[in-house]
Amino acid sequence: MNLALFDLDNTLLIGDSDFEWAQFLIERHILDREKYEARNLEFYKQYRAGTLDIHKFLSFQLKPLSHHPRSQLDIWHHEFMEEKITQLIAPGARELIDKHKLAGDLCIIITATNYFVTAPIVRMLGIDHLIATEPEQKNGEFTGHVSGIPCFQEGKVTRLEQWLDEHNLTWLSFLNSWFYSDSLNDLPLLNKVTKPVAVNPDPTLRDHAQKNNWPIINLR
């Protein structure tokens, strides 16, 4: 059996679902533009530069979830999918996913973006397994805090290995393992798989990929 891992934002999507979710709430006047838009953009720049403090970002990103009932959030998310996400799916994303599914590979999307935002996107892409940052919930409602280890940088490796252990698997269960990503933040996991692939990479990842003879592909 082989393992195929996919980053989501700026890899299978032409854009960042975390950033777009906050912008969607701002455009709907659910979040105050003056208070949130500049911070949202600044956190996104930090992420792209590899300097993001994930806990500060999650405090910013998850807190609005605690201000509204889950039923209302689900309604907004459905509208978010129609207005924002459907047009952001990279043209080559489904073909790449289908190639691995047809080969019988275990396919997992693994992303730093929280589970609430990403789970419907992953279902749309036809992948059964998702490892994402988990928002804390109590009685079915979000608390505004993170649960467990954020699925970010080295945390992606930890969360994946926890998932594999829960499913009675290890790295040795797989003959080959792919990871497709655009981001320097994913170097810890890219360095763990047997077949790392840079997808429309940022400059740091592109340089690393070229130095290490990793494939560089364009899904756009």
**From 9, 16, 186, 202, the catalytic residue:** 9
Q: Tell me, yes or no, if 9 is annotated catalytic.
A: yes
- Give the whole-angstrom CA distance, residue 146 versus residue 59: 8
Strand partners, 37: none
| Alpha helices per DSSP H over 50-113 | 54-62, 70-80, 93-102
C-alpha distances in angstroms, 114 versus 52, 57, 65, 214, 219? Answer: 15, 11, 11, 28, 23
Does 165 participate in catalysis according to the annotation? no
For strands 129-138 and 3-6, give the pairing.
unpaired
Q: Annotated catalytic residue: which of 7, 105, 182, 202? A: 7
> Are the C-beta atoms of 109 and 6 separated by less than 8 Å?
yes
204 contacts 50 by C-beta, under 8 angstroms? yes
**Cβ(193)–Cβ(178) below 8 Å:** yes
Catalytic residue list: 7, 9
